[in-house]
Structure formats: structure tokens, C-alpha cells
Amino acid sequence: MSSENLRIENASLRIGSVHYLNAAPLTFGIENRIHFTTPARLAVLLRRDELDAALVSVTEVLLNDRYDILDGVAIAALGEVYSVLLAHTKPLARVREVFCDTASLTSVNLLKVLLAERGLKPVFRPLESYAAAAEKDFVLLIGDRAIDFQRTAHPHQIFDLGAEWLALTQLPFVFAVWALRRGLDQSQLCRTLIEAKSNGLRHLDLIIRDRPEYDPAFRRLYFERHIRYHLDIAEKRSLARFGELLCKHGLGPVFETKFV
């Protein structure tokens, strides 16, 4: 991929992203400029002004009035996302506690909203280890860990958060966006990230061929069926609806989003 590296005029740009497979097309060609860590850690670094931009869980920008959102780019799903799920061995109506991967606040809050809309308000507890996930009656998993769980034998039913959001709202769900720190000259930063997305989608076959996660057939299915990278009218309507439901269920306040 090195031959496709994008030229970054300002090498001091500080950009953060996640290791997950679904983010690969958004950092294609600029990987050597990216600080990779978990969504939760990226949010901490942004709040400390240690990053200029980060691919963060959308809740981070909805609940904090200090970021702009890069227009046109997101990690979203229209229906089943496959990599954000509640695995459960008991009926949903019997949920009393959920053990969760705390890496993504958005996934936790989305599940809270989806359950609250059914009149369910369980206690959320941190999952002590991924190895313990199979032992839990209700466990929230995200990213590659969720994919790993689905691809191994388990007794759980799967409550896919992307599919459930579509059923509730008839809208795609936006899981992550590029959050930009306000107060910067953002022109070069925006240009770099938009070019990276265009480059990644143009070379999606190369990503599918070369990424180490899973097998090529699965990678193609995942990218072509489960993940989308648009941030258009439907996605913006979804962000607004999610904000409304966060406030409805006491998970706000939510701030107005600003797209650049």
C-alpha cells in the first residue's frame, strides 16, 4: 500500500483512528500518519487536545460541544452491521444487567436507547475480559471482537444494533465520524481525510485482498453488505433522531452538530 500513500502537506497533523477492519478504507494511504487506539482512548486524546482529528464514536461529538464533524465521511450501516451486537442467552424481556465492551460509548448508548424504547432499563457493567463474553447471558460487543464472537460457536442469540435501529427508525445508523478540534485551520486536515476515503474506496479490492483479518470472502461480504461510508441526508437525519432519543431517555444533553 505504500505506493498509494497520500502526500500530506502538513506532516504535523495529528490524526487518530481505530484498529478495526471497518475503518481501513478511511485511512488508506495515510496509515503511517495515524495514531491507532480504541474509540474511548481517542476521545480522551481529543479532549486533551493531543489530536487534531480522530475517528470517534458519534456520541463523543453529540455530547461534547467542542468538535466539528467532517462532512461526507462516516462509518455507518443500513441494517445489519454484524460488528456491533448484543449477544444474549435469555429473552430480552428478562435482561437485568448487560456486560459491555467499554471501548465505544456510542454502542452502549445506542443499546440503552433501543432497550429503553422497549421499556427495558438494565444495569450496564464493564466486561472483565473478552474471554468471559461467552459466559454472560447479556453481553455487548463491538468491532473485530464482535466479529470473532459471531464466527465461533456460541449458544447466544444476536441482537444486531444496526438492524434494530433500522427497524425502529427506517434510517441508517452512524457509528463513527471524523471529529475535528475547533480553532484550527481545518482546510488541509479535511482535504487529507476526504482524499484518504476516496483513495480507500477506489482501492477497496486491494484492501479486501491484503488485510490480515479473517478471509477474503468474509472481508468482501463485510465491506459490501454491512458497512457504508457516506454521511449524507439520511445519515444526518439519523444523527438528529439519535440525539432526540438520547435526550428522551436521559442520556443528554445533546449539542447541535456542525459539519465542515
Per-residue three-class SS string for 192-216: HHHHHHHHHHHCHHHHHHHCCCCCH
Q: What is the 3-state secondary structure (H, E, C) of 69-87?
A: EEEEEEEEECCCCCCEEEE
Tell me where in the chain the CATH 3.40.190.10 domain(s) lie: 2-76+173-248, 84-169
Check residue 119 and give its pLDDT.
Answer: 97
Any residues with CB less than 8 A from the CB of 85 and at least 6 apart, and which? Answer: 140, 141, 142, 146, 149, 150, 158, 159, 160, 161
pTM of the prediction? 0.90
Residue pLDDT tens, the chain, 260 long:
433 343 434 457 799 998 889 999 999 999 998 999 987 889 899 999 999 999 999 999 999 999 999 999 999 999 999 999 999 999 999 999 999 987 778 899 999 999 999 999 999 999 988 888 889 999 999 988 999 999 998 899 999 999 999 999 999 999 999 999 987 778 899 999 999 999 999 999 999 999 999 999 999 999 999 999 999 999 999 999 999 999 999 998 999 999 99
User: In terms of CATH architecture, what is 2-76+173-248?
Assistant: 3-Layer(aba) Sandwich (3.40)
- Measured at the CA of 50, the angle between CA 45 and CA 54, to 5 degrees, comes to 60
Q: 3-state class of 141 per DSSP?
A: strand
CATH class as words, domain 84-169: alpha beta
> How is residue 224 annotated by DSSP?
I
| 57: three-class secondary structure by DSSP | strand
Q: Which three cell numbers stand for residue 168?
A: 425502529
| pLDDT, position 191 | 94
Specify the pLDDT at position 144.
87
Joined together, the cell numbers standing for residue 77 give: 450501516
Provide φ and ψ at 235, rounded to 5°. -65, -35
Contact 161, 86 (CB under 8 A): yes
| pLDDT confidence of residue 23 | 94
Could you give the CA distance from residue 196 to residue 26 in angstroms, rounded to a whole number? 6
Q: Directed axis angle between helix 233-248 and helix 161-169, to 10°?
A: 90
pLDDT of residue 131: 86
